[in-house]
Chains A and B, each alone.
Chain A
Amino acid sequence: MKKLSFIVVAVFLMISASLAAASTLEEVQKRGELQCGVSTGLPGFSATDEKGNWKGLDVDGCKAIAAAVLGDAGKVKYIPLNAKERFTALQSGEIDVLVRGTTWTLTRDTSLGLNFAGVNYYDGQGFMVSKKLGVKSAKELDGAAICIQAGTTSELNLADYFTQNKMKYEPVVFDSHDQTIKGFEAGRCDVLTSDQSQLYGLRTHLPNPADAVLLPEIISKEPLGPVVRQGDDGWFNIVRWSFFAMVNAEDLGVTSKNIDTLKKTDNPNIRRLLGLEGIKGKSLGLADDWAYQIIKQVGNYSETFERNVGMDSPLKIKRGLNALWSKGGIQYAPPMR
């Protein structure tokens, strides 16, 4: 009997290993929890507060997907990853979606087996220097030692920028944000480089944030967004439209506060957003009120932006490129119909 059951188990393992995995949506619903890859701690985007709760723009991205899929924004398991681990974690299925300030590039989109589902923050790489250096421009950085995080596009942009401007530099490469800022603080390097939004966040970690200044140069395009595995288009659609729902909500003036009163509106755009008419949630495989749940529990794009990185936060980042297209920015979501 024992022998027989062993054979059954072995055969089952071999067959199941070669079958295609079930869809991510089914897996998440069965598990009752979304496994979301975030950073190891970047204020404003994904970091824990003093009570140990995850907060940030990227964290809200995770919450929005959980609200749409499971109806509860709290059902997220956050998996902190450093830049080097993030793609492997997603490829191997350890996480369902990666929302971790990840730059959308051709290589990543095509040869890693990944798909970028949108851009939740338009960023660019900048430089932070100590105020007492008296440096006013990145062009004056010839010969500087530069702290940087391993495995990022920043490493490549930095090399390009310095080569183009015929300057020399000394890259000091660390594993995590935390070590990078520590190295900068200790004076191991003159400059810290990263996406500008991250620099704002990292600066709040310094004992005296006013001692560091950001240089005006932005040396790259860094469209940051959520990433999923290739080959599961249904899940890709859910992640992409969870974000679009938040942008469309801002566009239509729907917020977490006024959403319940707006249920009575006769504006067809809002009625479609809230799942009261039109295509609803069927084509996504979700409940009809999926977008309502996102906005009710997490808020629209403007609310999450201001709360986490904007004027209501210690980072005080202006909307800039991340304003809606109608307000001078480039955030734009296709219509929901």
Chain B
Amino acid sequence: MTPTKQPIPKTAWWNNARNRALLFQALLICAVVGFFAYIANNTMHNLEQRGIATGFSFLKQKAGFGIIQTLIPYTEANTYGRTFVVGLLNTILVSVLGIICATILGFIVGVARLSSNWLVSKMAAVYIETFRNLPLLLQIFFWYFAVLRTLPSPKQSLHIGERFFLNIRGAYLPRPIFEDGFGWVTATLVFVALCILFLKLWANKRQEETGQQFPVLLTSLGLLVSLPTIAYFAAGAPLQWELPALKGFNFQGGITVIPELAALLIALTVYTASLIAEIVRSGILSVSHGQTEAASALGLRPGKTLRLVIIPQAMRVIIPQMTSQYLNLVKNSSLATAIGYPDLVSVFAGTTLNQAGQAIEIIAMTMAVYLTISLTISYFMNWYNARSMMKER
């Protein structure tokens, strides 16, 4: 049976819904492009008229100012472009450390909040309600000006032996110096890591086939400690420590953790962890209690129930919300400028902006950085979320 042909009524092309939609979209795009072109043109015109320098050539000029914490070699003779990288790395450092610490602390507190132990759950509740309800900037000031101020001066440093020192200028740790032959230790570590990976795969497979479990964790730890230690001594102990020593005004040598980093990291961690704890709690509560009962009916202990049954299901609720907390943490790290931690905003959108004077370019670059970092985190978390979503079969 052939379909009967209906005569298509003739209409003008602009009455066609599809054409019309295209037309409106084209008009909208023109308007948007025109608007931004006008803004850009107007800005350039005004900058030129007021004699303000434009362009990105300033990035090649000599910076001429010092920065307290640099992850890459930097001196006053380097360029403004280098200060951008230094600031960026400092921002990434505090963000990554903050995300790791806040996640760990948040999970612990979130689980503690649901503990059946009255004291533990109330302490967690007090922690959460205190720290998530105080402005972050205030907390940063608290840790920096109130807590770190009580630390002693360099000459009266708190110390553990002659290796670790703590005073108002920061924490001083020994710096490892790798000598020839340390490559063997590194190679052993890589080898052990591969072994553990295979062990884990093998153990999983065995459990699926026979139901027998293998103590993967203990075996891995044993391997991880023993083999590199043997390699270390076999290679002739190729590791020296550079110890911090009090010289003149302060400690020289070793690794320094500046108090600005510590204060910012503590504040970001404590604040974000209080929010993550609530997310974790909501995630765990979203898993029906029947699951717990079923798990204990199968004979799983409470710890294993939590780890193998509850958390994996709770993660589906937790991950999307964690994404926004991570994004907030990265953006909040720009409050660093209030206590002088040399992050991107403080160094590049602060000192460099002021010395070079090119506000529009510098602010645009800074915004682009935060956008890029945030989108990257968001992309990664979405990927992870898609992976851990319920597989419907």
Whether B50 contacts A143 by the Cβ 8 Å rule is no
Known: A112-B357, A160-B64. A175 touches B337 (CB 8 A): yes
Which among B5-13, B199-207, B316-324, B347-355 touches the partner chain? B347-355
Given the contacts A144-B250, A172-B340, A107 and B346 also touching, CB distance less than 8 Å? no
Interface residues of B in 326-368 (CB under 8 A from A): 337-340, 342, 346, 350-351, 353-355, 357, 359
Cβ-based interface call for A150 (8 A): yes
Contact A169 B52 (CB under 8 A): no
Q: Is A163 an interface residue (CB 8 A)?
A: yes
Report B-chain residues with C-beta under 8 Å of the C-beta of A158: 65-66
Residue B215 lies at the interface, judged by CB distance under 8 Å to chain A? no
B355 contacts which chain A residues (CB < 8 A)?
Answer: 107, 151, 155-156
Residue of A nearest to B49 (CB): A231
Q: Mark B246-268, 1 if CB is under 8 A from A, else 0.
A: 01111010000001100000000
Instruction: Pick the contact of A171: B67, B77, B339 (CB < 8 A).
Output: B67
- Does B45 contact A18, Cβ atoms closer than 8 Å? yes
- The closest CB in chain A to the CB of B363 belongs to A88
Contact flag A173-B68 (CB < 8 Å), given A163-B76, A182-B145, A186-B168? yes
Interface assignment of A332: CB less than 8 Å from any CB of chain B: no
Q: How far is the CA of A229 from the CA of B248 in the complex (A)?
A: 46
Given contacts A163-B76, A179-B340, A145 and B169 within 8 Å (CB-CB): yes
Which chain A residues lie closer than 8 Å to B52 at the CB level? 91, 111-113
Instruction: Tell me, rounded to whole Å, the shortest Cβ–Cβ distance linking A220 to chain B.
Output: 13
How far, in angstroms, from A83 to B357 measured CA to CA in the complex? Answer: 12
On whether the beta carbons of B249 and A156 are closer than 8 Å, the reply is: no
In Å, the complex CA distance between A333 and B247 comes to 51
In whole angstroms, what is the CA distance A117 to B159 when docked? 55
Question: When chains A and B are docked, how far (Å) is the Cα of A202 from the Cα of B145?
Answer: 18
Q: How far is the CB of A23 from chain B (nearest CB, A)?
A: 14
For the complex, count residues of B whose C-beta is within 8 A of A: 42
**CB distance A155 to B50 under 8 Å?**
no
Identity of the chain B residue whose Cβ is nearest the Cβ of A108 in the assembled complex: B357
Contact B51 A230 (CB under 8 A): yes
Given contacts A143-B248, A156-B65, contact A84 B51 (CB under 8 A): no
Across the interface, which residues of A come within 8 angstroms of B357, CB to CB? 87, 107-108, 111-112
**B 158-194 binary contact with A (CB < 8 Å = 1; else 0):** 0000000000110000000000000000000000000
**Chain B residues with CB under 8 A of A162:** 66
Given the complex, which residues of A lie within 8 Å of B64, measured CB to CB?
A: 156, 159-160
Which residues does chain A contribute within 8 Å of B359, judged by CB atoms? 88, 91
Whether a CB of chain A sits under 8 angstroms from the CB of B149 is yes
Tell me the interface secondary structure of chain A in the complex.
mixed
Name the residue of chain A whose CB is nearest to the CB of B65: A155
Known contacts A171-B68, A231-B50; A188 and B169 CB within 8 A of each other: yes
Distance in angstroms between the alpha carbons of A173 and B45 in the assembled complex: 35
Residues on B with C-beta less than 8 A from A183 are: 340
By the criterion CB–CB under 8 Å, are A171 and B66 in contact? yes
A231–B249 CB distance below 8 A: no
Determine if B372 is an interface residue (Cβ-Cβ < 8 Å). Answer: no
Quote the shortest CB–CB distance from A143 to chain B (angstroms): 4
B149 to chain A, nearest CB (A): 5
B53 interfacial contact with A, CB 8 Å: yes
Contacts of B115 in A (CB 8 A): none
Cβ contacts under 8 Å, A231 to chain B: 49-51
Residue of B with least CB distance to A169: B66
Contacts of B260 on A, CB cut-off 8 Å?
172
Q: Please report the C-alpha to C-alpha distance between residue A171 and residue B97 in the assembled complex, in whole angstroms.
A: 23
Q: Is A96 an interface residue (CB 8 A)?
A: no
A187 and B153 contacting across the interface, CB-CB below 8 Å? yes
Kindly state whether residue B376 has any CB partner on chain A within 8 Å: no
B250 and A170 contact, CB distance less than 8 A? yes
Complex CA–CA separation, A175 to B209 (angstroms): 64
When distances are taken between beta carbons in the complex, the residues of chain A under 8 Å from B66 are 155, 158-159, 162, 169, 171
7 more A-B residue pairs beyond the given contacts A143-B252, A150-B340, A150-B351, with a C-beta to C-beta distance below 8 A: A150-B346, A155-B66, A159-B64, A170-B250, A173-B346, A179-B338, A182-B145
For the complex of A and B, the 5 pairs showing the least CB-CB separation, nearest first, are A151-B354, A113-B52, A113-B50, A111-B53, A159-B76
Please, could you name 18 A-B residue pairs with CB atoms under 8 Å apart, sorted by A? A20-B49, A84-B354, A111-B51, A112-B53, A112-B357, A113-B47, A113-B51, A113-B52, A143-B247, A143-B249, A150-B337, A150-B346, A150-B350, A152-B354, A156-B355, A159-B66, A169-B66, A186-B149
